[in-house]
């Protein structure tokens, strides 16, 4: 289009359309609409991510106050007396509650007085982070005095990564939800991966593509992928919990429910990977006298494996972010201690985010957003790893 010589006199050109400039203007507008739609969807992503970072990044630091702690038999019995009366409302109740255990582990502390950094109450933390706070004027004066003397500091929030859920905002962390997620996903993968790959192998390598059975299975898988996730929760509740009597809220039930949801993703991507292995490989195998199983097991599957892995990782990432069916099977219980087996009551990261989002205290908002940041970074690195696998092992036949 670029290199034609225009006919200078428009009126002599019999092809000249007097509306041409109007049509070109319209074309420009159309293109403008298209690009602004794309920009808008990217803008949503940007606003969304920056909003989460903005809200959540504060939670990675937590306020600590330097106070004198007196350890003796009397104060250990009534932990509120461990510190001076005027500081009591500024220090976390949960932190004081943990002191007797600390002394038990370190008996040399007994009958001494130490200056330590104590975890601050969530209202103090909110004040330090310029959020909405509720502190009485009397206590605020004490706090301002402490700040004046550099006895208030923000440290890296280790509690967030080393503790489970808590009803006390400053003492709550994401560890038990993380372990719950790992247990649940282990169950999911242990079930969905072999079944999904086996189904794909059957449909691609063994089934007659024109038979009624295989088209029936195919339609089923298609429909399964489109069923709303919450209905899988109803299945889990009715079958796994009520019929089979598996423990409610457990990673086992949640993992099985998610496995059924992940199946279609693994099947579809594994089939695509199997299909991309050229027929010549199979024919060479048959030519050497291998049986069908030997060809599939020793030649086709290893070649398709990177594709199968990519699909499974993407499926895993999707299962990791799923919440609705897990709420239905009870995985939103309050779990302060990490589950130790797949039969224990557990919660998962998205469910933890959901419970925190419903908490009335302001301090939970930043913890929710921080939980979201952790979840998103895990998900994005999973997906990036899947893309890397695909790029690295991609074979052009």
Partner 1 sequence: MSHFQNKQKSIQLKEDIIKYLLISAAGISVLTTFGILFSILFEAIDFFSLKSFTYFLTGNEWSPGTANSKFGASAIFAGTFMITFIAIAIALPIGVFSAIYMSEYASDKVRSTVKPLLEILAGIPTVVYGFFAAITVAPFIVSVCDSLGVSASYNSALAAGVVMGIMIIPVISSLSDDVISAVPDSLRKGSLALGMTQAETIKDIVLPSAMPGIISATLLGISKALGETMIVVMAAGMNANKFSINPLEDMTTVTVQIVAALTGDFEFDSPDTLSAFALGLVLFVVTLTLNIVSVMLIKKFKEKYKMSSL
Residue 6 has what DSSP assignment? P
Token pair for 54: 């903005």
Cβ 143 to partner 1, closest distance in Å?
27
Region from 38-46, 114-122, 139-147, 154-162 binding partner 1, contact rule CB under 8 A: 38-46
Identify whether the C-beta of residue 334 lies closer than 8 Å to the C-beta of residue 355: yes
Contacts of 184 (CB under 8 A, 6+ apart): 251, 254, 255, 258, 326, 331, 342, 346, 348
Among 179, 316, 368, 374, binds partner 1 (CB under 8 A): 368
Considering only 69, 201, 265, 274, the residue that binds partner 1 (CB under 8 A) is: 201
Q: Which of residues 127-146 bind partner 1 (CB under 8 A)?
A: none
Beta bridge partners of 64: 119, 153
Q: Is 249 in the site for partner 1 (CB under 8 A)?
A: no
- Residue count, binding to partner 1 (CB under 8 A): 88
Rule CB under 8 A: say whether 7 interacts with partner 1: no
Task: Report d(CA 369, CA 230) in Å as an integer.
Answer: 24
Rule CB under 8 A: say whether 27 interacts with partner 1. yes
Q: Return the C-alpha torsion angle 27, 33, 37, 39, nearest 10.
A: 90
Q: Which of 4, 15, 244, 397 binds partner 1 (CB under 8 A)?
A: 15
Of 13, 114, 132, 216, which lies in the binding site for partner 1, with binding defined by CB under 8 A? Answer: 216
Task: Compute the distance between CA of residue 5 and CA of residue 7 in angstroms, rounded to an integer.
Answer: 7
According to the binding rule CB under 8 A, does residue 372 interact with partner 1?
A: yes
Kindly tell me which of 142 and 270 has the beta carbon lying closer to partner 1.
Answer: 270
Output 119 or 273, the one with its CB closest to partner 1. 273
Q: Could you give the C-alpha distances from 6 to 10, 12, 18, 23, 216, in angstroms and in order?
A: 9, 12, 15, 18, 60
Nearer to partner 1, 65 or 296 (CB): 296
CA–CA dist 114, 66 (Å, integer): 10
DSSP string over 176-242 = HHHHHHHHHHHHHHHHHHHHHHHHHHIIIIIS-TTSHHHHHHHHHHHHHHHS-HHHHHHHIIIIIII
Q: Which is nearer to partner 1, 38 or 73 (CB)?
A: 38
Determine which residue in the list 80, 194, 283, 381 makes contact with partner 1, applying CB under 8 A.
194
Using CB under 8 A, pick the residue from 7, 10, 13, 26 that binds partner 1. Answer: 26
- Give the list of residues 6+ apart from residue 180 with CB closer than 8 angstroms, or none: 251, 331, 335, 338, 339, 346, 347, 348, 349
In the complex, the smallest distance separating the C-beta of residue 59 from partner 1, rounded to whole angstroms, is 14
- Return the residue of 7, 13, 34, 377 that touches partner 1, per CB under 8 A: 34
- Window 40-79: contact mask with partner 1 (x via CB under 8 A): xxx-xx--x--xx--x------------------------
193 in contact with partner 1 (CB under 8 A): no
Positions in 250-289 near partner 1 (CB under 8 A) = 260, 263-264, 267
- Distant-in-sequence contacts of 279-287, Cβ < 8 A, 24+ apart: none
Q: Select from 379, 385, 389, 390 the one that contacts partner 1 (CB under 8 A).
A: 379
Q: 202 or 385: whose CB is closer to partner 1?
A: 202
Q: How far is the CB of 94 from partner 1 (least distance, A)?
A: 24
CB of 135 to partner 1, least distance (A): 23
230 binds partner 1 (CB under 8 A): yes
* Sheet strands (E) in the chain: 61-71, 112-119, 152-156
Find residue 117's DSSP bridge partners. 66
Tell me whether residue 142 or residue 250 sits nearer to partner 1 (CB atom).
Answer: 250
Q: Measured from the CB of residue 33, what is the shortest distance to partner 1 in angstroms?
A: 6
- Neighbouring CB atoms inside 10 A of 167's CB total 11
Among 132, 156, 206, 334, binds partner 1 (CB under 8 A): 206
């Amino acid at each position: 289009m670029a290199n034609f010589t225009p006919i200078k006199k428009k009126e002599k050109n019999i092809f000249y359309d007097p509306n041409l400039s109007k049509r070109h203007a319209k074309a420009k507008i159309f293109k403008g609409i298209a690009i602004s739609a794309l920009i808008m969807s990217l803008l949503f992503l940007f606003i969304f991510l920056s909003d989460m970072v903005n809200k959540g990044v504060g939670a990675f630091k937590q306020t600590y106050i330097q106070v004198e702690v007196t350890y003796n038999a009397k104060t250990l019995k009534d932990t509120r007396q461990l510190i001076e009366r005027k500081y009591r409302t500024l220090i976390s109740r949960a932190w004081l509650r943990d002191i007797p255990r600390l002394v038990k582990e370190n008996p040399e502390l007994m009958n001494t007085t130490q200056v330590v950094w104590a975890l601050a109450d969530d209202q103090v933390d909110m004040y330090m982070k310029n959020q909405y706070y509720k502190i009485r004027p009397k206590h605020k004066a004490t706090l301002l005095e402490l700040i004046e003397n550099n006895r208030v500091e923000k440290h890296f929030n280790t509690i967030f990564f080393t503790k489970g859920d808590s009803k006390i905002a400053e003492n709550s962390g994401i560890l038990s939800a993380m372990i719950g997620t790992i247990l649940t996903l282990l169950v999911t993968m242990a079930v969905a991966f072999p079944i999904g790959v086996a189904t794909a192998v059957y449909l691609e390598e063994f089934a007659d593509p024109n038979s009624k059975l295989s088209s029936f299975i195919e339609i089923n898988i298609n429909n399964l992928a489109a069923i709303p996730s919450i209905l899988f929760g109803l299945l889990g509740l009715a079958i796994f919990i009520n019929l089979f009597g598996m423990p409610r809220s457990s990673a086992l039930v949640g993992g099985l429910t998610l496995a059924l949801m992940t199946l279609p993703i693994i099947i579809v991507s594994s089939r695509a990977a199997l299909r991309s292995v050229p027929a010549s490989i199979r024919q060479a195998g048959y030519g050497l006298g291998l049986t069908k199983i030997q060809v599939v097991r020793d030649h086709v599957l290893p070649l398709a494996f990177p594709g199968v892995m990519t699909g499974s990782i993407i499926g895993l990432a999707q299962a990791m972010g799923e919440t609705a069916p897990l709420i239905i099977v009870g995985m939103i219980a309050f779990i302060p201690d990490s589950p130790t087996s797949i039969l224990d009551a557990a919660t998962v990261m998205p469910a933890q985010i959901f419970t925190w989002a419903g908490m009335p205290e302001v301090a939970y908002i930043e913890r929710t957003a921080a939980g979201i940041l952790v979840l998103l970074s895990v998900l994005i690195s999973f997906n990036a790893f899947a893309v890397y696998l695909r790029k690295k092992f991609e074979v052009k036949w």
